[in-house]
Amino acid sequence: MVRANRRIARRRRGATAIKQLAWRLPVNPFRPTEVLNPDQLEAVHGTSLQVLEDLGIEFMSPEALDVLARGGAQVDRDSGLVRFDRGLIAELLGKAPARVTVTPRDPARRLILGDKRMVFASVGGPPNVHDCERGRRPGNFADYCDILRLIQSLEIVHCIGNQPCAPTDLPAESRHLDCYQANLTLTDRVFLSTSIGADRVRDAVEMVAIARGDSLEELAARPGVISNINVNSPRRVDGAMAAGLMALARYGQVVVVTPFTLMGAMAPVTLPAALVQQNAEALACIALVQMVRPGNPVVYGAFTSNVDMRSGAPAFGTPENTLATIAGGQLARRYGLPYRSSNASASNVVDAQAVYESQMSIWGAVLGGANVLYHAAGWMEGGLTASFEKFVLDAEMLQMMSETLQPIEVDEASLGLDAIREVQPGGHFFGAAHTLARYETAFYQPMLADWRNYETWAEDGARSATERATAIWKDLLESYQQPALDAGVNDALEAYVRRRKEEIVGGRVSP
């Protein structure tokens, strides 16, 4: 099949060849799906404005309250509740750009959030790690670095999530420095910084500036850091998040705002109400970003799913999650903002459930027009574990989606009337000239799928996709190549980390 931008990158090591697609930020050509009709969308929007006007959002940060008061919001200093006039919200939303770029040290790895593009970010945040050889364990820095190597080895993973696994063997107060350093030396990709507090944000900004050889002013003009601000739903932004948000905005870096609205737990049990709450929380934080620095890049994030009402356990990739993701996209587009979604599953193992829940999440993101998919590779167990096998499996699914989003080229050659004429009824096209000219790049070639017949597959060990994924991540780690980095930059990063660790240990600066 003639398809645009088809290039196959191959990584060969000995007898092994892991084929993969070349780097590409796919452009979603589908008209976004609408699960809310225009009246319903306006009802959700309007009710969320009522929440902002009448009920308010709590900000647990005196500094944020100052900014919000100065910016025109009604601030109740006793309760921390902040109410926003709908005119103020509209005015501030009007300042946010529709398209955001994030540029890492290698400009070829620049991300575009907007323009119907999709960016796939790795898993971020799990305290645990799992692979089928070593089992489940608390995350450590060696695993952290191995996941970075997988990210760097797979062109479909465009971006590093915020701590692909927690390096629990490093001191909590300074591990973000080790993580940033590893991100900047083991990969050439954009990473999501930690957003807990202003100092961790500043460290990310300083270190990306060093890696790019840019000043902080240059970084503000051409952002290099992206981070996620979680709302402690319902209607609360804690002090560390508020500080992180304001720091990101002051440095001109990209703020992704994501309410954590699990229906039935942190949000109402009905989808429209959960969307109302999500939207009110998101708009309040977006407003604060725009008050700190008008025009600062900001992304509308959604994470509305449901819990199991018998146990309270969170569920992902459910029908409700999928519908919420699609509806969230309608809201983000209403405000002209880039949209963030997730690839999530609650399964405890890399099994059928993990895949169908992930597929529901990924398709929800595609139909919702998401511009960045968090946790796109490696998320397992509701985010409590980073899985090496799931990483490979997700990468295959993301590649398939990237190919599905490629435009179809229709012209005289691809319409193939001559090929159809050439082959007689009941014949076959294997040897047709039309086939021979195209067969090498005609179709997506999978990394993980096994299409051999049953007998051949069984004789070769009858390995499931999850078992094959183990072989692939080991192969990727073995053939990993560290991207080049200027020695001076490397030294400067080391020096920065050393100095900051001394400050933190010395208690001179709180982390």
Beta strands at 385-387 and 128-131: parallel, antiparallel or unpaired: parallel
315 touches 116 (CB < 8 A): no
Contact status: 351 vs its own copies (CB under 8 A): yes
Contact status: 367 vs its own copies (CB under 8 A): yes
User: Closest approach of Cβ 374 to its own copies, in Å?
Assistant: 19
User: What letter represents residue 217's amino acid?
Assistant: E
Binding marks (x or -) toward its own copies, 72..101, rule CB under 8 A?
--------xx--------------------
Number of alpha carbons in the 13 Å side-chain half-sphere of residue 2: 10
Contact status: 465 vs its own copies (CB under 8 A): yes
Binding marks (x or -) toward its own copies, 143..162, rule CB under 8 A?
--------------------
Nearest residue to 376 via CA among 389, 387, 391: 391
Among 15, 78, 108, 440, binds its own copies (CB under 8 A): 440
Binding marks (x or -) toward its own copies, 213..232, rule CB under 8 A?
-------------------x
**Between 82 and 190, whose beta carbon lies closer to its own copies?**
82
User: Closest approach of Cβ 206 to its own copies, in Å?
Assistant: 33
351-356 long-range contacts, CB within 8 A, separation 24+: 351/466, 354/380, 354/390, 354/393, 355/393, 355/397, 356/317
123 touches 386 (CB < 8 A): yes
Among 235, 293, 375, 500, binds its own copies (CB under 8 A): 235
Distance CA 233, CA 68 (A): 19
**Between 100 and 393, whose beta carbon lies closer to its own copies?**
393
User: Closest approach of Cβ 15 to its own copies, in Å?
Assistant: 16
Tell me the two tokens of residue 420.
Answer: 């159809």
Among 419, 485, 489, 492, binds its own copies (CB under 8 A): 419
Among 18, 36, 196, 372, binds its own copies (CB under 8 A): 36
Considering only residues 236 through 265, tell me which ones interact with its own copies, judged by CB under 8 A.
236, 263-265
Distance CA 172, CA 190 (A): 22
CB-based contacts of 322: which residues, under 8 Å, 6+ apart?
360, 361, 363, 364
Please provide the distance, in angstroms rounded to a whole number, between the alpha carbons at the two ends of the chain.
54
282 touches 49 (CB < 8 A): no
Among 335, 379, 444, 480, binds its own copies (CB under 8 A): 444
3-state SS, residue 130: strand
User: Closest approach of Cβ 303 to its own copies, in Å?
Assistant: 16
Segment near its own copies (CB under 8 A); pick from 156-164, 186-194, 214-222, 354-362: 354-362
Contact status: 104 vs its own copies (CB under 8 A): no
Among 113, 469, 476, 493, binds its own copies (CB under 8 A): 469
Contact status: 140 vs its own copies (CB under 8 A): no
Query: What is the Cα 503 distance to its own chain's centre?
Result: 32
Among 123, 245, 257, 315, binds its own copies (CB under 8 A): 315
**Between 210 and 400, whose beta carbon lies closer to its own copies?**
400
Among 416, 471, 483, 485, binds its own copies (CB under 8 A): 416
Tell me the two tokens of residue 201.
Answer: 């944000």
User: How many residues bind its own copies, per CB under 8 A?
Assistant: 127
9 touches 21 (CB < 8 A): yes
Contact status: 312 vs its own copies (CB under 8 A): yes
Distance CA 467, CA 155 (A): 22
Distance CA 281, CA 293 (A): 19
Distance CA 346, CA 320 (A): 14
**Between 75 and 299, whose beta carbon lies closer to its own copies?**
75
Considering only residues 319 through 348, tell me which ones interact with its own copies, judged by CB under 8 A.
319-320, 322-323, 327, 346-348
Segment near its own copies (CB under 8 A); pick from 63-71, 83-91, 102-110, 274-282: 274-282
Among 272, 294, 336, 483, binds its own copies (CB under 8 A): 272
Contact status: 356 vs its own copies (CB under 8 A): yes
Among 34, 85, 115, 218, binds its own copies (CB under 8 A): 34
**Between 147 and 447, whose beta carbon lies closer to its own copies?**
447
Contact status: 434 vs its own copies (CB under 8 A): yes
Nearest residue to 149 via CA among 109, 203, 185: 185
User: Closest approach of Cβ 399 to its own copies, in Å?
Assistant: 9
How many CB atoms within 10 Å of residue 213?
A: 12
510 touches 184 (CB < 8 A): no
Which residues share a beta bridge with 227? 193, 255
Among 4, 23, 29, 87, binds its own copies (CB under 8 A): 29
Query: What is the Cα 261 distance to its own chain's centre?
Result: 17
234 touches 266 (CB < 8 A): yes
Segment near its own copies (CB under 8 A); pick from 210-218, 283-291, 412-420, 485-493: 412-420
Considering only residues 370 through 409, tell me which ones interact with its own copies, judged by CB under 8 A.
381, 384-385, 393, 396-397, 400-401, 403-404, 406, 408-409
CB-based contacts of 115: which residues, under 8 Å, 6+ apart?
27, 99
278 touches 306 (CB < 8 A): no
**Between 46 and 213, whose beta carbon lies closer to its own copies?**
46
